[in-house]
Structure 1
Amino acid sequence: MKFAFLIFKYFPYGGMQRDMLRTATRLAEAGHSVDIFTMSWDGEMPQVGAAHGRISVHIMPAKGWFNFRKYQDFIRQAQARIACEFNVDLIVGYNRMGGLDVYFAADPCFIERAHTQRNWLYRLTPRYRWFQRTEQVIFSPQGKTQVLMVDMAEKAVFQRWYHTQDDRFHYIPPYLSGERLQLHDRAEMRAYLRNAFNLPPETKIALLVGSGFYMKGLDRAVHALASLPADMRQDFKLIAIGQDKPAPFIRMASKLKVADNLIISRGRPDIPQLMQGADFYLHPAYRENTGLVILEAMASGVPVLATASCGYAVHVQKADAGQVVPLPFEQAVLNRMLEEMVSLVHARDARLEKWRDNGLRHAHRLMTENDGSAEAAIMLRIAGKKQEDAI
């Protein structure tokens, strides 16, 4: 079968991007063809042996003064090219757009966030109207787009706004690559992390990883960092790694007089090793369908402090692998929990070891539910039904 994948941008450290490429690779390895259309590609091009199917990447730069205008131009270009040059069985989108057979719902409901996290003036902007229309095209009960859900709790949110039929949602169990479960000696990884950032061996470290620092709650983390007692901050560092502009957060840290406690780094390929060397993982995101990095931290044997607005935070609670800041979010609660986590690290409290072991066991159980082929299997099933309906 022939598949077309559409994604605005590819970079190797994004969770959605890794899901997309893994699914394309699984399809190609099974003998199918995948054409990926994107505005930009950062990283190595996919390689699939000649004995298998193929993956082709088509980079299509877009024009526009604003990002949503660029997205609109890209969608127009990609869909026109697919219609004229490609005979595909299934069109899969990893971002909101019309004309899709399948939408991979990595992002939470846009209109829900626009009404709960923004003021009414935002809902008068062209950007709001564009994103709302693209989401409505996907989820409208008059539509036929099938939706791959990584968090079924978000299904109720979409249905509250759009009344989408139940049978159009398909659940994907969490996936963790084997690389994330390759544990190394903890002492060696602690030294590795500290050497990577030229820090003294006794430094206590909380790690935050993710593209889009604002949505990951780095501002919340900086405010919580500033709330720590001065003596507790002396040998403590918050290291944030990801694809985003660091300047606003550096300015914030300077204003709050904790610039010396914050390190911001671009995305890098050794995240599994760095994670295993951290004292705990901090993820105070505003809202995420999943937050795969939470499971990756658990699989690395690292206690987690996350917000309940992340879909996968429920796994921290199920496993008893750390702490979860409840909803509605209060900065004071995060501040208190961060201080408690740092105190436990200083005291080498037995709870940390318990959380590590619980998280590891839970992550291993999750691995048995999805070997990485669930998305490809669902897409093949949908493509087959589409062919049957066309006969």
Structure 2
Amino acid sequence: MKFAFLTFKYFPYGGMQRDMLRTAIRLSQAGHHVDIFTMSWSGELPQGNIAVHILPGRGWFNFQKYQDFIRQAQAEIASRGGFDLVVGYNRMEGLGAYFAADPCFIERAHRQRNWLYRLTPRYRWFQRMEEAIFSVKADTQMLMVDMAEKAVFQHWYHTQDARFHYIPPYLSAERLQLQDRAEMRDYLRHTFNLPQDAHVALLVGSGFYMKGLDRAVIALAKLPVHLRKNFKLIAIGQDKPEPFIRMARKLGVSDHLIISAGRPDIPQLMQGADFYLHPAYRENTGLVILEAMASGLPVVATASCGYATHVQAAGAGLVVAVPFEQAALEKTLRDMLEIVQARGEQLQAWRENGLRYVQQLMQANNGDAEALILQDIVMSGAVSNQTQESL
């Protein structure tokens, strides 16, 4: 089989990007060919039956660049021909399958933005791309990392049930390999030049705003002096740090915040931290939550993250309820730090519960689930020829 994968940007530390590359590799290992079309690629190029085509989009605004990239990619796919399935990892038209890593755009636009935003060209473009995927008139198949979001899409677009395909969570083997915790504790503190008695929380992910780093900084500033004294928050990801550095400076806590670009040693850093902080605004899943649990790291997360349910089911930390209140996050952060400082039975129970739960959860997906679903979509003929003809 021959697959075309489309994604706006690839960088090695994004969860969706890692999923895409893993799926491409699994398809390649099964003897299929994958062409990846993207605006930019950061990191090593894949081997095997995988070809990467970089097509920089042009335009004044990001959505215009995306539109130009889609136009170029569709032209390339049409000229090369012979593709059995076109798979998109961002919202765009002309797809046979869509990896739904992001929550419903139109839902967020109505709940989190005012009516003026919905008059902008940006809103109209993204809404049109989403409708092209989820409309009842389309036959695009959706790979869902969180089936709770299915009802949200169906509320707006009335999408047929049969077009949704659930993907169980997956963690790579390296995420499940534990090292000596004392050594990892020393490693983290040495890496960031911290004192050995520092209490450390990690926040990891591209898009600091959506991950709730602003919420975390405000909560940090509200900590009592005795809890804040030896506390450090380390945020790691692909985003601009300046707005959050300015916020921390304004609130008088810049000495307690460290921001780093994405890096490959996240598993080691997680095993050396005291807890994981993920006060995201809204997220389909939040795979990094499971990665933290797999590292034996207690979690503080907002219930607006799909995978926060796993924290509750496992008994592996604390979840801030929705609707979100900043005061609730501040209290939860205080509670967690008090438990961390006490280093008692509760902390150890959270560690063990998270580890045991994730190990059981991972038995449902060995990393092949997405590749198998895409092959089944082709074999079943669920996507009509009009997908390819529309290109």
Q: Is TM (by shorter chain) over 0.5? A: yes
Report whether the alignment pairs 1:33 with 2:39: no
Please name the residue that 2:85 is paired with: 90
8 Å Cα contact 2:96/2:383 also seen in 1: no
Please, what is the CA RMSD of the aligned residues?
1.0
Shift of 1:47: 1.8
8 Å Cα contact 2:139/2:384 also seen in 1: no
Please name the residue that 1:77 is paired with: 72
Q: Residues of 1 paired with 2:383 and 2:340: CA distance? A: 58
Shift of 1:349: 2.4
Shift of 1:10: 0.1
Shift of 1:387: 8.5
| One-letter amino acid of the counterpart of residue 140, structure 1 | S
Q: Residue 228 of structure 1 aligns to a residue in which SS?
A: coil
8 Å Cα contact 2:139/2:383 also seen in 1: no
Q: Residues of 2 paired with 1:42 and 1:196: CA distance? A: 24
Shift of 1:85: 1.7
Please name the residue that 2:108 is paired with: 113
Please name the residue that 2:18 is paired with: 18
Please name the residue that 2:333 is paired with: 338
Please name the residue that 1:47 is paired with: 47
Report whether the alignment pairs 1:2 with 2:8: no
Q: Residue 98 of structure 1 aligns to a residue in which SS?
A: coil
Pair 1:276–1:261, CA change in 2 (3 A):
same
Q: How does 1:1-391 map to 2 (within 5 A)?
A: 1-48=1-48, 54-386=49-381
Shift of 1:185: 0.5
8 Å Cα contact 2:278/2:289 also seen in 1: yes
Pair 1:285–1:388, CA change in 2 (3 A):
closer
Please name the residue that 2:389 is paired with: none
Q: Residues of 2 paired with 1:72 and 1:350: CA distance? A: 54
Q: Deviations over 1:327-381 (max 9, x none)?
A: 0000000000001111111111211100000000011011100000000000000
| One-letter amino acid of the counterpart of residue 26, structure 2 | R
Q: Residues of 1 paired with 2:294 and 2:273: CA distance? A: 13
Q: Deviations over 1:105-150 (max 9, x none)?
A: 0000000000111111111111000000000110001110000000
Q: Deviations over 1:10-63 (max 9, x none)?
A: 000000000000000000000000000000000011122xxxxx0000000110
Q: Residues of 1 paired with 2:68 and 2:41: CA distance? A: 17
Shift of 1:386: 2.3
Pair 1:278–1:387, CA change in 2 (3 A):
closer
Q: Residue 364 of structure 2 aligns to a residue in which SS?
A: coil
| One-letter amino acid of the counterpart of residue 253, structure 2 | V
Percent sequence identity over aligned pairs = 74
Q: Residues of 2 paired with 1:87 and 1:225: CA distance? A: 54
| One-letter amino acid of the counterpart of residue 306, structure 1 | A
Q: Which runs of 4+ in 1 moved over 3 A?
A: 387-390
TM-score scaled by length of structure 1? 0.97
Unpaired stretches in structure 1, ≥5 consecutive residues:
49-53
TM-score scaled by length of structure 2? 0.97
Q: Residues of 1 paired with 2:302 and 2:171: CA distance? A: 21
8 Å Cα contact 2:188/2:273 also seen in 1: yes
Shift of 1:151: 0.2
Q: Residue 268 of structure 1 aligns to a residue in which SS?
A: coil
Q: Deviations over 1:55-106 (max 9, x none)?
A: 0000001101110000000000000110012310000000000000000000
